[in-house]
Structure 1
């Protein structure tokens, strides 16, 4: 059974319920009061969901550690090595030699270096000109 919610100002609303007409000010005051109460309820619900999410994340981390695939890597070492060569497994580190970032799921590269992967088709380089580079181009043209 759900908790019942008491609407703020029900006594005032009860007194006005017998009126045939309400002034604009009364209607706006009533709506404002109800919207504010609804915002408080939504905010309380949001934070309770965040607490639940934090609790579930803690539980998941406790059960599985950082990666649920860690144990699979130990059990199926040869199979994972083959999958990693094909780009199907979960890499721990980006394949660029100087990069220490974690590779994206199902790839061999991190976010910064994903364009180096010739087989990927999800990402494209940005062609949007940057103000700073345009400034240097125009300065070199005028010189």
Structure 2
């Protein structure tokens, strides 16, 4: 495991450098020294925290790059179940609008019986029919 080292600031020389090695201090001197040490320690921990956050961000980015799935590479668009048709199917069916009549289970569409003038053929488009279910 890699260790993260954070440079620690040198303690600032106090105006009472002779008291830095003293064994007896007044209450105010002791509190002042403890407060300065606490500020140095909190700065050290704060710097260490942000270095760790940068390290975790880098590790997470590498993890996603190597192990996460690409949302576009495995995305599969469904196509019409009719042989050779690559159109998008209608919702809740496996056939497109042009081949919906090939589905034997569907009840909503029926073939159009409209005769086109000038030709002897029927219209090939399916018509939506309203089916009312009776209990």
TM-score normalised by structure 2 residue count: 0.41
More strand by percentage = 2
Task: Point out which structure has higher relative CO (alpha carbons under 8 A, 6+ apart).
Answer: 2
Query: Which structure has the bigger radius of gyration?
Result: 2
